[in-house]
Structure 1
Amino acid sequence: MSYVTHYPDVVPRLTDGTVVLRAMTEADLPASVEQSTDPETVLWTTVPSPYSLDDAREYLDVIRRGWEEGGDAVFALELANPADGGDPVPFAGLLDVRRRGTASWEVGFATHPAARGRGVMTAALRLAAAWAFEEGAPSLYWYAGVGNWASWRVAWRVGMTWHGTLPQRIAGRDGRSEDAWCASLLPDQPMEPRTPWVVAPVLEGEQVRLRPWRDDDGEGLEPRDDPAHWIPSTGPSMTSADFPAWLERRRSAVASGAVVDWCIADRESDRALGDLDVFVRNGTLDSSDVAEIGYQLTPSARGRGVATEAARLAVSYAVRRVDDGGLGIRRLVAETAADNEASNTVLRRAGFVVWGREHSVDRLPDGSYADALYWELVDES
């Protein structure tokens, strides 16, 4: 006699004591509509818009067939015992594991607004990945639309390896295909971050506040007016016109573990005045005790000590021991154009000294070449 297991009994119940992965039920439908009509969900998924209870009920049938026929395995999430002391969330999102036999499996997820920022999806993805590997998944791949930083941070937290951007890889709205970020996890890999991701701490000075960049910071940025060889770049610049693309490049570098990046903001108005970063050119910040500092100001912010104060704040944080909340950098270096006296003054006032000069580095518009200076600051503590 053979036994056929039907939905919801076919769905395993997975839990770490805080988050539960379980079968979706009729009781979850109103909350799933809330999730599916939330702007973030609409932005990053192909869920129908508008989305109604009837749509949710039809999707529940799709989920049921997937489980019973060995197709996509979609779990409902529940925050049952919050570690943060907040309220439980009976329906915290959906996570689907797309089973592909012996080929690579895929994972996708969406979090209910009430559960965002509470570590729910990270815990859920670890549970789902362990289950998928027990079921025979040779690998687990994640794809997300370019710019979906919340989704990438979840994938990063569970130890997925970043593979880059794939052109026209995922379905978008209105039948369009879109570029996608890609990462993967193998069965024998630890489910912990593979690289650091340093969120810039807020540092307060008398004139400035160093803080993470925000999406709306580009509104007050001005066209550049400094010589091209002072800040050589082949990509988007720190201006209002280029800001979305410029900010995405900065955030990508931060996500790679190579950079901690600050917006230099006016302390009173919080308006963006410039950019400052501490970075390594190879590897990650936690793999070296030597790092480089770079900075730039929007034209109207110059000449009043803004960059000097910002540099001093960043240096203090960079050389602070890791145990004390800093980066633990022993030696900071910088490179400037020799004729950029304003930038050279900032470094001197921040404690840097020149250790070298390279001749004829940058070609100028008139055909001549400019020299470069190399600076260092060594923490002796």
Structure 2
Amino acid sequence: MTVTTTVPTLTDGVVTLRAHSLDDADAIVDQSRDPESLRWTTVPRPYTREHAVGFIEGNLAAWGEAGAKRSWAIEWTDDGGDARYGGTIDLRPGAAASVGELGFGLHPDARGRGLMSRAVRLVVRHAFATPVWGVPVRRVHWRAIVGNWGSRRAAWAAGFTFHGTLPGSHPDPDGGPDALDTWMGSITPGDPLSPQTPWLAATPAEGERVRLRPWRIEDIDAVEVRNDPEHWMPSRSIIRRENFATWVHNRQERMAEGTGIDWCVADVESDRALGGITVFSRGGPITDVAELGYQFFPSARGRGAAKEAARLAVAHALAPTSEGGLGLRRLVAETAADNEASNAVLRSVGFVEFGREHAVDRLADGGWGDGLYWELLPGGTTP
């Protein structure tokens, strides 16, 4: 294998990947002491300039070692026209010489500018075009601690396919006794270096009584105990105080996967959470058909909040993509036949019942109830 100590410079005209320099040391210290870096990485603590110098020298030396990682400094131009150190990205040897593992981190000043996804594309292109460790690289993996949305979004924007969550697979950066879960993804030659699925967002909308907005962790204070019949909604979907953080995280993951949008329905005057409404798909990313679902806390019922929230969500779902909507062709819903309030909400926004499944819901008294199927097409037409 031919080993070189020359670090290839990669650029797309906005981001440049180059060899690390001792001039980067102070910026590396700043980055490594930043709370977000400490939260998601296992950098030494406390981080000193000596650590930065060792990091730089180690990265440069690795280019002369067969089978070692390949690291670049990320350089960008700030608003004043000055070239600045923006972070580090490296390609590490994986399970075989034909597999690489991506690692990266940004300086705080470089975040929120789309720079990392550009850097990822540059490294991926280089990996697939160059026998990095003596043979062509056929797959590049990405991994991040669950909750590191910045890392996930960079990988998503660069075309990585998300493979799921691996429990207990990363040491706790804070030194805790428990291993943390990680997200995992990869990309192969020929895959487009662009998002493979939509990343949906809870776009705010406001009516006379309620507003739709993203959920916040502090909304837990508004969560109320529900006493609805068990067959009205799957237990895993119910908002509860005891699992609220997990519930919100799962909804954020659905949006990142393009399989659903979940809004908090809040009082338009107090902004207090009244319940939630969702547009989602049961079979992969939303395309042209999706399902409507909703739930409201007991104190929020009987005031028209659910009907107005449904109207706002339906409007977003059916609005053309050119206007920021989902551009859906059809919406569907499922309810229990005896859930009169929920059925009234669907009728109020134009849904039409198109089917009934008999004796499908187990009732508290041991009997069986029917389930209803609903649909809504733009213009209120039905096949």
- Distance of 2:189 and 2:331 partners within structure 1: 39
In structure 2, the residue matched to 1:34 is: 30
Counterpart residue number, 2:151? 151
Deviations 1:106-157 (A, max 9, x none): 0011111111111010111001111111223221000111222221111111
| Residue of structure 1 in register with 2:185 after alignment | 183
Residues 37-74 of structure 1, C-alpha deviations (whole Å, 9 max, x = no match): 11111111111222121221222222122222241112
CA–CA distance in 1 between the matches of 2:110 and 2:219? 27
Is 101-110 or 119-128 further displaced after alignment? Answer: 101-110
3-state SS in 1 of match to 2:231: coil
Match in the other structure for 2:246 = 245
Structure-to-structure mapping, 1:315-326, within 5 angstroms: 315-326=314-325
Q: In structure 1, what residue type is equivalent to 2:180?
A: E
Alignment of structure 1 residues 243-322 onto 2, 5 Å: 243-286=244-287, 289-322=288-321
Give the conservation status (yes or no) of the 8 Å contact 1:203–1:210: yes
Shift of 1:366: 2.0
Which residue of 1 is the match for residue 133 of structure 2? none
Q: What SS class does the counterpart of residue 36 from structure 1 fall into? A: helix
Q: Is residue 356–residue 375 contact of structure 1 (8 Å, CA) maintained in 2?
A: yes
SS of residue matched to 1:254: helix
User: Contact 2:90/2:103 (CA < 8 Å) preserved in 1?
Assistant: yes
Q: Which amino acid aligns with 1:126?
A: R
Alignment partner of 1:194 out of 193, 196, 200? 196
Write out per-residue CA displacement over residues 200-258 of structure 1, whole angstroms, 9 at most, x where no aligned residue: 2111111222122234333332223222211113x364122211111122122222222
Range with bigger deviation, 57-66 or 301-310? 57-66
Q: How does 1:338-349 map to 2 (within 5 A)?
A: 338-349=337-348
CA distance in 1, matches of 2:291, 2:80: 41
Given the alignment of the two structures, is residue 102 of structure 1 paired with residue 106 of structure 2, yes or no? Answer: no
TM, length-normalised to structure 1: 0.90
Does the aligned pair in 2 maintain the 1:361–1:371 contact within 8 Å? yes
The 5 A counterparts of 1:38-117 are 38-70=34-66, 71-80=68-77, 90-100=84-94, 102-117=97-112
- 1:302-331 per-residue CA deviation (whole Å, 9 max, x = no partner) reads 221111111001111111122232211122
Q: Is the 8 A contact 2:3 2:65 kept in 1?
A: no
Distance 1:86 1:361, change over 3 A: farther
**RMSD over aligned Cα atoms:** 2.2
1:379 aligned residue: 378
Quote the sequence identity (%).
49
Distance 2:3 2:350 in 1: 74
- Which stretch of structure 1 is more off in the superposition, 26-35 or 235-244? 235-244
Cα deviations across residues 56-95 of structure 1 (Å, max 9, x unaligned)? Answer: 1222222122222241112111222x6xx68756121111
SS of structure 1 residue aligned to 2:46? coil
TM (normalized to structure 2)? 0.90
